[in-house]
Amino acid sequence: MNGKIAIVDYGMGNLSSVHKKVQRLNAHPFVTSDPGELLTADKIILPGVGHFRKAMNNLEELKLLPILNEIVIDKKIPILGICLGMQLMARHSDEGNVNGIGWIDADIKHFSIRDKLSFKVPHMGWNQVKFMKESALLKGIPEFSEFYFVHSYHLIVNDQSVSLTETKYEYPFISAIEKENIYGVQYHPEKSHESGEKMLQNFIQI
């Protein structure tokens, strides 16, 4: 179903690359911060780059949290969080010591790297993803495909059933989650060439 895809604009990061990539896949993306417009969407993409506390403050100031809860929790509209957008779905982040939206039983922690010469923070560049379970989001993507990452914090899940992909950067961490209609990826599918394009196409067709 290639319906209307709302890309949430809450002042955190450049949304044009996500918009262009989704548009290339014959979907109908639109960028908005308007709660009424979000209600018209068939699917939601929540991108984001930046500081967790600032992101939560922006969502609150724009009065987007109640409408996102209505869309995602009550109406069960599929949502894809990308990078910071996925992290916001967690209960709490150490970045700014602030609560998240709370859709996922997980916390956001800074990388605890021991070998700082070999593993720089932020984790930036291409890395493999290991599949933890089957998912419509992963359909047609070879396991251990490489995706593009840029982040200093990562997800620690308390409910392992939501774990979708795992990535290793000195140690393993959960790099994607799935819970019913809620999907999130730490990597940037819009910057990840064929595998990323296939993932976005899969989401559009869910």
Q: Which residues of 85-103 are buried (b: 16+ CB within 10 A; e: fewer)?
A: bbbbbbeebebeebebbeb
Annotation marks residue 190 as catalytic: yes
Residue with tokens 């559009």: 204
Catalytic residue among 19, 123, 154, 188: 188
Distance CA 80, CA 25 (A): 16
Known catalytic residue at 19: no
Is 83 labeled as catalytic in the residue annotation?
yes
Out of 28, 95, 190, 193, the active site residue is: 190
Which residue in 83, 151, 154, 178 is the catalytic one? Answer: 83
Cα 112 to Cα 153: distance, rounded to the nearest angstrom: 9
Place of tokens 């019913």: 180
Q: Which residues pair with 178 in a beta bridge?
A: 183
* Active site residues per annotation: 83, 188, 190
